[in-house]
Amino acid sequence: MSDAYSRISRWLDARIGLALGPSRGYLLDARLQPLLLHYQLPDLVALAEHLERPGQAALKDAVVDAMATHETSWFRDVYPFELLSSTLLPARAANGGALRLWSAACANGQEAWSLAITLAGFRDLRPAITQAADEILASDIALPTLRRAETGIYATPGDLRGLDAPRLARWFQAQDETYTVLPSLRARVRFTEANVLEENAGAGFFDVIFFRNVLVYMNEATQVLALRRLAARLLPGGYLVLGAAERLPARSTGLRPLVIRDRVVYQAATGG
């Protein structure tokens, strides 16, 4: 890996925990060449120099957005949302009060809106229980992608993958093959820029956090830091849901696995 690749890789690791490794340097070429043209930079050496300087916020946001993996879909893998509706939300709602969910690394927004639809369906079955204060926080480190997610507008077949016809009809306004999230659903979700490697104390505490299919892009030290930060944001007894193929690293994270219906979720070790 060249010096430029190494410098940019170190910057990405420190900034968002992305661990590329020497065998994946090709991703820098593939994903950053359009930025070189846009910002009129001659090569990756010049880009590395800009990233290492103070300021350059727009360029740095663009690099993060280009290198972050935004692959997602509605109700991805199905089972986490079924488990949320059948088990996790009832357990958290047992004592009454508002529920708070966090889609950490929400990418294009499908996960956050899927959580909102699931929570709305859960509340619809319990009309006597107040739900005005329920909140879903949707966050991402890639600001341009976050802003697109916040619009709630989806058009391409890829945008709509995993979203069935009844949900499209119930929760979206259709116009010219474009689907826009209805205001009633939009009111449940708040979007904000956040880095899971930071404390995020201002975000408050959550009943359920979804942090799915992100750990696979991190080295173990960064995984541990991210998971410890997330564990600190869980309410007592709250749940963390990871991707289907993801597990806790060997080092302590402050989380413990909990098997529910042959699926694994995680709770803070001090939780109930």
Split at pLDDT 50, 70, 90, the class of 212 is: very high
Q: How many domains does the chain have?
A: 2
Whether residue 10 lies inside any domain: the answer is yes
Whether residue 72 lies inside any domain: the answer is no
Burial class (CB in 10 A: 0-12, 13-18, 19+), 219: middle
63 and 83: one domain? no
pLDDT of 95:
80
Average pLDDT, the chain: 88
34 and 156: one domain? no
Please, are residues 102 and 233 in contact by the beta-carbon 8 Å criterion? yes
Query: What CA–CA distances, in Å, run from 259 to 86, 153, 224, 254?
Result: 14, 36, 21, 17
Q: Which of 43, 67, 91 is the last residue in one of the domains?
A: 67
The boundaries of the domain holding residue 8 are 3-67
Whole-model pTM: value is: 0.84
17 and 138: one domain? no
Split at pLDDT 50, 70, 90, the class of 272 is: very low
pLDDT tens digits, one per residue of 63-120: 877 777 666 789 999 999 999 999 999 999 988 889 999 999 998 999 999 999 999 9
pLDDT tens digits, one per residue of 186-195: 999 999 999 9
